[in-house]
Amino acid sequence: MYNKYTLSNGIKVLCEKVEGVRSVSIGIWVGAGSRFEDKENNGVSHFLEHMLFKGTRTRSAKQIAEEIDAVGGQINAFTGRECTCFYTKTLDEYSDVALDILSDIILNSKLTKPDINIERNVIIEEINMYEDSPEDLVHDLMTEQMWGKSPLGLPILGTAECLAGINKTSLREYISQKYIPSNIVIAVAGSFDEPDTVKKLDKRFARIKSGDHTAPVADKPKFCCGVNIKQKDNEQVNLCIGLKGIELGDDDNYTLSLINNIIGGGMSSILFQKIREELGLVYSIYSYASAYKYAGQFVVYAGMNPDQCEKVYKLVWDELKRFKTEGITEDELKKAKAQFRGNYLMGLEGSLGRMNALGKSELLLGYVHTPEEILKKVDNITVSMANELADKIIDEKNYAVSAVGKVDRELF
């Protein structure tokens, strides 16, 4: 069970004690991601995430790493489409070290011009590496196609052109706009002294003020059908078929998770068993569902020899249509629920998993369901509910395609 607090400046803090662990995970969650950027500053959220580790007024980048390594801890960060998270995981006895370092990088980073220029080159290399990884690139092409002109379709890493315009002034301005109390959630999970931790968080983060800024509001994107292809002379074609999914916060996401498990969520799934195991046409094939504010997607991915692309594409649609027509059996639903339950509960076993669940949900939705509430929602899903949603999601007239490789656009 978690407890929620509000610091003196309005920052929300969620705390959950986890029995039987010696670790504590602390996450600073900020509503800053590529969805809240535009074509002028695309990539600034991710750029800033990198820059906050480059040194503060009292610590160099090396000292930040050395101090957390010295206590056997971890410090890291990630940027997504809707949020950025900076987090630590340490033994409970070193929670003060973690708090001190996290608050230092958030509040006191120097953002020097030499560091900015160095990190810009590092991120451009990251973009180049991504471009050379077609199995990753194809998912960005799908998101770009699916959400059209919406910022939700922008790449998280940004572009070299946008990165060229980012400087200390623009980074400071972005901090003042996004790193504000109404747009920050702090999540703590594991073994820790709760009242003491909340008091120390208030002392360290109380100086963050909103000024004239408010938390950004996500747009409501329109789903865009179409085909997005990047021709590359690769040995494989990497293909995605994207369907309109369920928006974040809708309980139908739990039903879609079960549908996903059955269709392509594991080695026993329909697509894996049919197209990979039985026919041997692909090395990798799977499906996944992603949910955002006011938007969602359900995507099937496959990687194959270019000569097999047309056949695999047709087979995927054949299996999706068959699934839609024949529906889900009670046995399939039971297995999918067991798979969901196992994956979900194992993901919450450590302090880091609990921290992630708390922080992301509170930041993006403003509330957190307990594990018991979530499992009850899943248990209550019926065959008719799953079949009704499958019929709605699998729509032959409303889909997007992305591909990377030697592929003929006319196939789609």
pLDDT of 317 > 90? The answer is: yes
Residues 143 and 282 in one domain: no
Length of the chain: 412
Task: Give me the torsion for CA of 64, 65, 68, 71, rounded to 10°.
Answer: -130
pLDDT of 23 > 90? The answer is: yes
Q: How confident is the model at residue 410 (pLDDT cuts 50, 70, 90)?
A: confident
Look at residue 321 and tell me if it is in a domain: yes
Mean pLDDT in residue range 330-341: 97
Mean pLDDT in residue range 41-54: 97
Q: How far apart are the C-alpha atoms of 121 and 138, rounded to whole Å?
A: 23
Look at residue 213 and tell me if it is in a domain: no
How many distinct structural domains can be found in the chain? 2
Predicted local confidence at residue 169, as pLDDT = 96
Q: pLDDT tens, 84-111?
A: 999 999 999 999 999 999 999 999 999 9
Q: What is the CATH number of the domain that holds 324?
A: 3.30.830.10
Predicted local confidence at residue 63, as pLDDT = 97
Predicted local confidence at residue 409, as pLDDT = 87
Residues 248 and 333 in one domain: yes
Look at residue 215 and tell me if it is in a domain: no
Q: pLDDT tens, 232-275?
A: 999 999 999 999 999 999 999 999 999 999 999 999 999 999 99
Other C-beta atoms closer than 10 Å to the C-beta of 337 total 18
Mean pLDDT in residue range 367-388: 97
Could you say which DSSP state residue 19 is in?
A: T
- Of 172, 205, 238, which residue constitutes the final position of a domain? 205
Residue of 49, 82, 144, 319 marked active site: 49
Q: Look up 49 and say whether it is catalytic.
A: yes
Q: What predicted TM-score, i.e. pTM, was given to this entire model?
A: 0.95
Residues 189 and 250 in one domain: no
Domain of residue 100 covers: 2-205
Residues 159 and 252 in one domain: no
Look at residue 380 and tell me if it is in a domain: yes
